[in-house]
A and B are shown apart, each in its own frame.
Chain A
Amino acid sequence: MKAPVALPDYAELHCLSNFSFLRGASHAEELVEQANALGYTALAITDECSFAGVVRAHVAAKQAGLKLLIGTELVLADGMKLILLAQNRAGYGNLCAIITLGRRRAEKGSYQLSRNDLSRGVPDCLALWLAPTAATTEEGLWLKAGFPERCWIAYERHLQPGDAERLAALQTLSATTGLPLVVCGDVHMHVRGRRPLQDTMTALNLKTAVDRAGHALFPNGERHLRSRLRLARLYPPELLAETLRIAALCNFSLDELRYEYPEEIVPVGQTPAGYLRAETEQGLAVRYPEGVPDKVRKQIEHELALIADMHYEAYFLTVYDIVKFARQQAILCQGRGSAANSAVCYALGITEVDPAQSDMLFERFISRERNEPPDIDVDFEHQRREEVIQYIYAKYGRERAALTATVISYRTRSALRDCGRALGIDIDRINALTSSLGWWDKREELQARFAAVGLDPDSPRVAKWLILAKQLMGFPRHLSQHVGGFVISRGRLDRLVPIENAAMPERSIIQWDKDDIDALGLMKVDVLALGMLTAIRRALDCISKRDGKGFRMQDIPREDPAVYDMLGHADPIGVFQIESRAQMTMLPRLRPRCFYDLVIEVAIVRPGPIQGDMVHPFLRRRQGLEPVRYPSEAVKSVLQRTLGVPIFQEQVMQLAIVAAGFTAGEADQLRRSMAAWKRRGGVEHFRDKLIGGMLERHYSREFAEAIFRQIEGFGEYGFPESHAASFALLVYISAWLKRHEPAAFLVGLLNAQPMGFYSASQLVQDAQRHRIEVLPPDVLHSAWETALEADTSSAVRLGLHQIKGLGHEAGVRIAEARPFRDVADLARRAKLSRDDLDRLAAAGALAELSGHRRQAAWAVAAVPIQRDLLLETPTNEAAAVLPAPSEGEELVTDYATLSLTLGRHPLSLLRRHLQRRRYSTASALRELGHNCPARCAGIVTGRQRPGTASGVIFVTLEDETGFANVIVHAKLAERQRRELLASRLLGVLGVLQREGDVVHLIAKRLMDHTDLLGRLMTSSRDFH
């Protein structure tokens, strides 16, 4: 037996995480934990030209108490391979700048650096040269000059032939260049067991299968974090000791990064605090011309004190600056998110929710204990958000402002697909398997699904496939741009974090995502796009223009009973947020009577309250069917405004404080982890504390469990009250417009398309049902966009934009060149192309100029186009008389060219056929009683399978009288899959279910009547 040797200390200086995409086969957290478990002195994360993984590593290292070095692996254009390690904050900043340089210059996903870029070295950084055996002295001396006393030659031993010779060669090189030697591990995985995954990634990188990748794969699994015992056998002790010397020279921690707010948001000569106070006071004066209410004054003082304490003035002022710009440009915007509904934000005009009318918990937005920055998201009109983004770029410059990244990770489908490809599994089989993933969580279905595509589920290859896919899930694939999260800094942003190109031209992103930013306490402003704001602004513009005086959002009277009456009758098409079937059916039950009811409405139809079983108790209490009881006065103070049922995120936090003894900071921690549970788990820790705390305070276990269930349900979807309030305001505004200015509202909505939920066709039909006259697009009357018809208040003229395929510029030229003598005149003066003319003719937009569609098509076909020199002007040809198209044909063409029809609804053309089959209309359905057998047919406009409704599918049918909601239970859905999924015109035989005004048709049998539609084109919007 050999005497036990003391294990040498070691610091790993060359280690890739999975942010070296398709190379590193372990998460940064795994690497840190493993290095710590092995007793390493330090670990460097050196992803290839990237810092995308360092924040995760930093958080894990802090937790584990391991020293983390930050560095990067670079391969220069001439093949020279280096590790650069940051020694301090300055060195880190220099590395950020080098990475930025290399990334910005190359396409997304790659980088480009040459010796020129490093000719003067990188100050405050150490260099490790991964010299090949054939390295020259000249290269070494070049490096030495750039990194005097700061450069090493790295020897990495992976049990290859000629290891000893290589060491000898490097020793010679060291002697001739005077560069010292050190050892490192080229670590690609935290444990040897990741070798299959690492091989898989290599194969994917080469776009081949593992069994064909051959020598491109590593010959063995040595590139993992090896035990110190093994390292002691592989490397000379003095070289191991050198790693420690290097680690000791690097003393940078990401904790040193201090976010510095931009300076220019404060006028010269003022302090941020003074300026914020002044602007707030000025805002208050405008908001409360009759004097600031005491409650608000108290709130303001409390908030300003807290903001001053935390030095967050600059943050509020940054957002204020952006919002001010938007105001100046008349871009509608509204803040939401954690700090938005503070009294300060109301005063600054960031939000419109009056603190005098609500009871917010400002502590929640800024947590003293956690020292985390506040969070304000601002929604802008979606069509004009780009102006705001360009303003930010112009004001701060691209060196100081960039979007945060979104890490796109492997999900079940992509992991299966890529692993399958690497294992050489036939691509069609992979597709067939991954087209629906219902089997993934169900072992019992797995067998059948694999067998169905001709794969043996028990075969070794399939077993490997599943194991690898599981490992790959959650691995980052690439960085994408966040929808609108901006990071703005005082100095150069690229000295704080590397910046790289996004896929979208003219966009750059930092290498960190929002969790990273959060973890480091950096600040970001979310500049988001919201279609409804566009629609509202367009509607307001339209009213202003008609009335000849400005009409603003503030001018809309609040608390109008007529608006609530309309919402209570479930007539909400087009209204913000009341879009999903669940929300629509909730309205008649909730019967909102005041603004706060809308706040609740917005928050209640969410997975959180639904999963927590909060909806029905709330409704029963509201309808007076059940008494409201509170287990204690403390709880009453929290839950009174929602009748004892916790609906908002804030209430859950407050409950944790008053009922379970959490501190405000702990409650905030609870909220933050709520968002992450879905992804990472880890509820148990809070469960014990929460339920234990409540039991201690003499609450019943039943109550405690119910609260916990709701917290769980909130997950990522929980709505904070502040958020709900911001949205509820838009609900009210849009509902008011629909009730009092329906024509203008339709114009706003149509000009803001596409917005997601309702199609133009549905909006127009709804308007027609409300007696709005909608006129077809016509070259003699229409502008590019939809507008109120001149001199009327209830007629809407569709814009030329409604014509499929017609270009914006052509449309504008037509509107400018009006009027026209004939189509030739139109073509010439509006400089239209042949395609434009054809589209106008087909869309019926030439009706006044040349008659019905066929005549129009005939007429434009003979028009000479300027570029068509060969075509002569028609010599007085005899007019051809073409028969007018039938109504059905017009309808088909309407849908094909405009996506909507102003004529009769297709189903009214088919009504006779449907009557013969004893189908009633959607409106007749609403008159039937509960449990009546009923049948209804309509065009399928939506199929939804909500996650909260176990396998039930909701189908929306549309006919000439409106909509019918159909519920298809899972069993029927499985049995009549074809009818359910393939029908465009669906007949449903079933039983009516009525609850007050809410009517559903429970399907018993489905009939496909698509053939009746003939060529009629309709497109269903599927939401799975």
Chain B
Amino acid sequence: MTGVILVCDQAARQAGIENGIGVAAARMLAPTITLLARNLSKEAEAMHNLACWAGSFTPRISLTPDTLLLEVGSCLRLFGGLEKLVVATREGIQAQHFTVATAAAPTPLGAQWLAQTGTDVHCCDCDTLRQHLKSLPIAVLPNKVAKSLAQFGATTLANVRKLPSAALARRIGVDTLQLLACAFGEIPDPRADFAFPDQFALSLQLPASVETASGLLFAARRLTAALAGWLAARQAGVREIKLQLQHEQQETELVLQFADLTADSGRFERVLRERLERMSLQAPVESLRLEATNVAFRPQRNRALFDDAHAEQDAVGALLERLRAKLGDKQVYRVTPNDDHRPECATQCTTLFEKNTPDNGTRLPRPLWLLHKPEPLAEIDGRPYRQGHLKLLAGPERIESGWWDSDEGGENGDKTTGDVRRDYFIALSSNACWLWIYRECKAPGGWFLQGYFS
């Protein structure tokens, strides 16, 4: 990881790390430091969700990369005054585990600058605003301009305002002076309204923690209903939605997949109910988050003509979904090839609706039917024996691979296959079966049957 430290915690500060120092320097100061990469897209997403959330305060919202502007002049009374409104927004944001700096001002840019500089000023009149603005550092202005101004010796906006404006405009451009004028309320500063999201992701803080799965269904219904409405409005459907159950410590994620695009709230709810009924909650749930993870445009159907065909397709899909929801993810699966030399690892179970990984095209003689576990064979007169001597038709093919997972635990606590070293043969049994057998090269050796060609 390279770059600079954007923000660090108390322990890091004690080790001498400051915001803005290089990562290498930080590692030198604290070799065991944990570094988390800044995730700009996550930040943007959070801002976006906050904008959605802020819709409950005012319909007029404006969003910049780091600032959320709410036009509250028209709804002050509704919330019982500025102070109460500020408290409500702060608490709402903090409840979502964000830190926030707030400010209020008669001009959007003024409020934005006051918030960015952490002044904690909430004012309603222009005179007070001007007083506060004047003491702000020039760093609130665009980087390049701030640099020029610093060279002229200006450090605060007051300094800037004192410079002869025509001469100044010639030097730093009219844009910046206009910016200042906007902030000071001397010219209007119209902002584009926030447009409603293209992606659906909603969180729901539960009023009290819920300990039963069925209890969640009721709460989740509000989310699924909203999703359905959103989809309908956009003429879209989903293939997959994700419901996250947030517990105090960790979270559980439920992925609900649909065989085809759907916007049917009944279907969401049915699949969700089956899933929730089957699971036992690890911990009380504090909040829910529903996300439409695979949305696509879904043209309106011409019901009269194609209703039957669609209905049939929907029905198979719905059946698979219900089976899977009922039996569990692991029980309904597809077998797909996996890129590994070892026969045990050459196939894998993939979820029903996952995209096929293309076959890498290796054409090796492999039996269709593989035993769950290789079956030891007798060796008589130095030859493998299974209801009679086996006749070796082809081989040996030596497979020697997999050292990387020896002695390691697999995903489900199964032992991994580990390093194998075997000589494989195609053998003919006395009852004319084509078998896939191998001789173990590692001590103590021996013959094993691993699969049937026929």
Contacts and interface: CB of A to CB of B under 8 A. Distances in A.
Interface of A: 158-161, 164, 195-196, 199, 210-215, 217, 219-222, 423, 427-428, 431-432, 435-436, 452-453, 459-461, 464, 838, 841-842, 853-854, 857-858, 861-862, 871-872, 874, 877-878, 880, 882-883, 885, 977-979, 981-982, 1008
A220 B403 contact: no
A196 B152 contact: no
B32 A452 contact: yes
The binding surface of chain A is classed by DSSP as helix
A874 B399 contact: no
A427 B2 CA distance: 12
Interface in B134-152: 148, 151-152
A461 B362 CA distance: 29
Contact of B148 (A464, A861, A874, A977): A861
Interface string B36-76: 00000000000000000000000000000000000000000
A842 B152 CA distance: 10
Interface string B1-37: 1000000000000111000000011011101110100
B81 interface: no
B365 A861 contact: no
B356 interface: no
A220 B341 CA distance: 9
B400 A195 contact: yes
Interface stretch (B160-168, B236-244, B276-284): B160-168
Contacts of A211: 340, 404-405
B248 interface: no
Contacts of B153: 854, 882-883, 885
A215 B398 CA distance: 14
B148 A220 contact: no
Counting chain B CB atoms within 10 Å of each CB, which of A161, A212, A217 scores highest?
Answer: A161
Given A212-B339, A215-B339, A880-B163, 18 more contacts: A159-B397, A199-B404, A211-B340, A211-B405, A214-B339, A215-B360, A217-B401, A428-B1, A431-B1, A432-B33, A842-B151, A862-B170, A862-B171, A871-B170, A877-B170, A882-B152, A882-B153, A977-B29
Contacts of A219: 341, 397-401
Given A195-B400, A217-B401, A878-B164, A982 B27 contact: no
Nearest to A859: B171
B408 A432 contact: no
A161 B1 contact: no
A877 B167 contact: yes
Contact of A432 (B31, B362, B401): B31
Contacts of A838: 148, 151
Contact of B15 (A880, A883, A978): A978
A854 B362 contact: no
A842 B407 CA distance: 64
A158 B341 CA distance: 14
Given A428-B1, A452-B32, A857-B152, A160 B360 contact: no
B423 interface: yes
Contact of A861 (B166, B172, B397, B407): B172
B328 interface: no
A461 B408 contact: yes
Interface of B: 1, 14-16, 24-25, 27-29, 31-33, 35, 148, 151-153, 163-164, 166-167, 170-172, 338-341, 360, 362, 364-365, 394-401, 403-408, 421, 423
Given A882-B152, A885-B153, A982-B16, A217 B167 contact: no
B365 to A, nearest CB: 5
19 contacts: A159-B397, A161-B395, A214-B340, A215-B362, A219-B399, A220-B400, A220-B421, A222-B400, A459-B408, A460-B406, A858-B152, A862-B167, A862-B170, A878-B164, A878-B167, A977-B29, A978-B29, A981-B16, A981-B28
Closest 5 pairs (CB-CB, A-B): A214-B339, A220-B400, A857-B151, A861-B171, A159-B398
The winner among B29, B172, B403 for most chain A CB atoms within 10 A is: B403
B150 to A, nearest CB: 9
A715 to B, nearest CB: 28
Nearest to A858: B152
A872 B408 CA distance: 74
B404 A464 contact: yes
Contact of A161 (B31, B151, B339, B365): B365
Given A460-B408, A853-B151, A221 B400 contact: yes
Contacts of A854: 151-153
Contacts, number: 133
Contacts of A878: 164, 167
Nearest to B402: A211
B404 A161 contact: no
B152 A874 contact: no
Q: Tell me whether chain B's interface is mostly helix, strand or loop, or mixed.
A: mixed
A215 B341 contact: yes
A885 B404 CA distance: 65
B16 A196 contact: no
A880 B164 contact: yes
Given A212-B339, A858-B152, A432 B403 contact: no
Contacts of A221: 400
A161 B151 CA distance: 76
Nearest to B360: A215
A857 B170 contact: no
Nearest to B166: A877
A877 B164 contact: yes
A159 B396 contact: yes
Nearest to B341: A219
B404 A874 contact: no
A120 B178 CA distance: 76
B168 to A, nearest CB: 9
A159 B423 contact: yes
Contacts of A159: 396-398, 423
Contacts of B397: 159-161, 219
Given A453-B32, A857-B151, A862-B167, A432 B360 contact: no
A199 B32 CA distance: 31
Contact of B394 (A161, A215, A857): A161
A217 B399 CA distance: 11
A266 to B, nearest CB: 54
Given A464-B403, A871-B170, A880-B167, A220 B151 contact: no
A781 to B, nearest CB: 22
Nearest to B167: A877
A210 B29 contact: no
A981 B17 CA distance: 11
Contacts of A428: 1, 35
A214 B360 contact: yes
A677 B399 CA distance: 42
Contacts of B401: 199, 217, 219-220
Contacts of B151: 838, 841-842, 853-854, 857, 861
Nearest to B21: A982
Nearest to B35: A428
Nearest to B172: A861
A364 to B, nearest CB: 44
A217 B29 contact: no
A874 B167 contact: yes
Contacts of A857: 148, 151-152
Contacts of A882: 152-153
B407 A161 contact: no
A982 B340 CA distance: 49
A804 to B, nearest CB: 14
A847 to B, nearest CB: 14
Nearest to A216: B339
Given A217-B401, A877-B164, A978-B15, A858 B171 contact: yes
Contacts of A1008: 16
Given A878-B164, A978-B16, A435 B404 contact: no
Nearest to A159: B398
Contacts of A841: 151
A1008 B29 CA distance: 14
Contacts of A432: 27, 31-33
